[in-house]
Structure 1
Amino acid sequence: MELQQMRYVVAVAELENFTRAAKKCLVVQSALSHQIARLEKELGARLFDRTSRQVRLTAAGEAFLPAARQALDAAERARAEVTAAAGEISGRLGIGAIPTLSAVDIPAALREFHLRHPKVRIDLREGASKDLVQEVQDGTLDVAFLGVLPSYRPKGVRDRELGRGELAAVVAPGHPLADESQVDLERLARETFVDYPAGTAARAQSEEAFEASGLTREVAFEVSGTDFIVRLVRSGLVVALLPAAFAAELTGLTVLPVRNAPARTERLVWSRFRPTPAAAAFLSGLGIGGDELSPQTL
């Protein structure tokens, strides 16, 4: 069993197509198919069900895929450790972030990191706080930036508070509230809202504040993307509660401070195990080092 064969399997599984997988792996399709067939023969099981229209993992393939990814990650980690010992940081850096992050200027931080460590491949993805924590726990991401309730403490990871803030009401310029200097939750409860899906950390920030005030509100639209929330508010159809620091940078909308506003905290989380050289370098650039980077037993 060879690492290259595992790379081919992972590529096919992710793209669900042999042709696209071969292109991604910079190899002709016949060579990729041949190597996967050799691996299947060695394992004594088919990893893919192939038809003229689709490619799907078999039960054996589903079982093989996580271990193959772990093996590839381990090989890349070993290579990165060797280059780090020689004074050069390389490998992959997986970063997750909420779209409304304001405590850290991610583009500026990544630019500075890339200038210092140009051989590190940076993978940046946007997501919900709960999902990002899980991906750090699983090792899919090295670090993640969250927006959560002040009382929230992530488990199975190490973390640091980056900053605290409040939510602000965001309305279209022509909305009846647009001429107000501020608004309270009781007045907002009479409006129709767009918000993140129920059960997400971003939604909980608003829900907890209304419930604590004994108020209910109508959330007519649930969407996952912040851009879509902004577009719906701009149309005048609904109002929203968004982090004040983030909302202040939006154009074409009116942002209102909220009396008894929902509070939120932005947190940085990273693995409780020893970070990769790339992750350690990135965290160091954020002022995190020493004991905070040492392995932790939870």
Structure 2
Amino acid sequence: MKLHQLRTFVAIADAGGIRGAARALDASPAAITKSLRQLEESVQIPLVLRTSSGVTLTEFGQTLLVHARLMIGQMARAQEAVDAMRGTASGKLSVAITPWLAMTFLPETMKRFTERMPEIRLELFEGLLPIANPRLRDGSLDFFLGRPTPGDLGVEFQYRPLFSSSCAVVVRQDHPRANCRSLADLCDLDWLLTWDPANDGPSAQNMFERNKLPMPRKIHLAHSFAISLALLRQSDMASIFPWPLVEVSASREGLCAVPVREQLEDAKVSIISRSGHPLSVASECFIECLVETVHDAQKSDSPDTRNVLRSVDLLI
């Protein structure tokens, strides 16, 4: 296997066809087809199935794709590390950021980072587990600032804790159950979460089971904070937000925290990256800028900033 063949294979998978890969790599369809054929010959297995609408990956192809992304990513990071040592850092830094952190400390962090590493392009993703974890696994994400997989420390990822906060049940401000005092009064509602309790065993499931209550009758999944806000504002669904997110968004979005007496699980935000893969110079610089921003914010006169910081325990 050669690196240019793996790049071609990844481009085909991303574009869903030969012509799309040719456009992405600025090459001819014939050259893309030749490179793919050579790769299939070297591994002696079919990697794609050609159809009238494009290509689909075989089972072998799906397995190789994960490793191909990692190899390409590592080569890019190696080049970036050498460039950084020469004082000519360039390339791209891909980061997933949990919503409340993006709404508070990201702008100043990004300003500091771009001043120190002006040649690095940032690629930012919404920091939700179903979005971030697959990208961490295949190497297309450098690191994730967000919630670790609940109850799973594992060996796949390494964690550096940043913040800890409590959580709140959230509904629209004029919700008929907005003043309920117990989770028992909310069990018959539909809930909207950003993770899947069946797969992740998250705090919502533990929260109900710990209080000997039935799981909600239906849990909908929304892998977007904007979608969650839109649905919560215009429905009777309930959700769970970390308190910093309540502080920065609930009131202005027409939402409120339900004053239930039960204790909810804490929400932690960590720097999450692949085990065995050291963070790049650019990654460490971004994290350093974030930590500086948070520490400087402790001296802020802004009521919003003070409220957010009061709702979290700093672990950095």
TM-score class, shorter: 0.7 to 0.9
* 2-structure distance, mates of 1:152, 1:63: 24
TM superposition shift of 1:90: 2.4
C-alpha spacing 1:282/1:23, structure 2 compared with 1 (3 Å): same
TM superposition shift of 1:272: 4.0
Q: What is residue 176 of structure 1 aligned with on the other side?
A: 176
Structure with the bigger percentage of helix? 2
Report matched runs for 1:94-105 at 5 Å: 94-99=94-99, 101=101, 105=105
Which blocks of at least 5 consecutive residues in structure 2 are unaligned? 293-316
**TM-score, normalised to structure 1's length?**
0.77
Report matched runs for 1:132-147 at 5 Å: 132=132, 135-136=135-136, 139-147=139-147
Contact 1:191 1:217 in 2 (8 A): no
Contact 2:175 2:236 in 1 (8 A): no
Q: What is residue 246 of structure 1 aligned with on the other side?
A: 245
What secondary structure is seen at the aligned counterpart in 2 of 1:269?
A: strand
TM superposition shift of 1:83: 0.8
* 1-structure distance, mates of 2:271, 2:5: 36
Q: Which amino acid is 1:160 matched to?
A: R
Report matched runs for 1:1-298 at 5 Å: 2-40=2-40, 46-58=46-58, 61-62=61-62, 64-99=64-99, 101=101, 105-126=105-126, 128-129=128-129, 132=132, 135-136=135-136, 139-147=139-147, 153=153, 155-178=155-178, 180=179, 183-189=181-187, 191-195=189-193, 196-199=195-198, 204-225=202-223, 226-248=225-247, 249-250=249-250, 251-262=253-264, 263-273=266-276, 274-287=278-291
Contact 1:98 1:146 in 2 (8 A): yes
Q: What is the number of residues matched between the two proteins? A: 285
* 1-structure distance, mates of 2:64, 2:149: 38
CA RMSD of aligned residues (A): 3.4
Q: What is residue 310 of structure 2 aligned with on the other side?
A: none
Contact 2:190 2:220 in 1 (8 A): no
Q: CA offsets per residue over residues 103-143 of structure 1, 9 Å max, x none?
A: 96334423432332232243333354377456546644321
Q: Which amino acid is 2:213 matched to?
A: L
* 2-structure distance, mates of 1:266, 1:135: 18
Identity of aligned pairs, percent?
Answer: 25
Contact 1:163 1:265 in 2 (8 A): yes
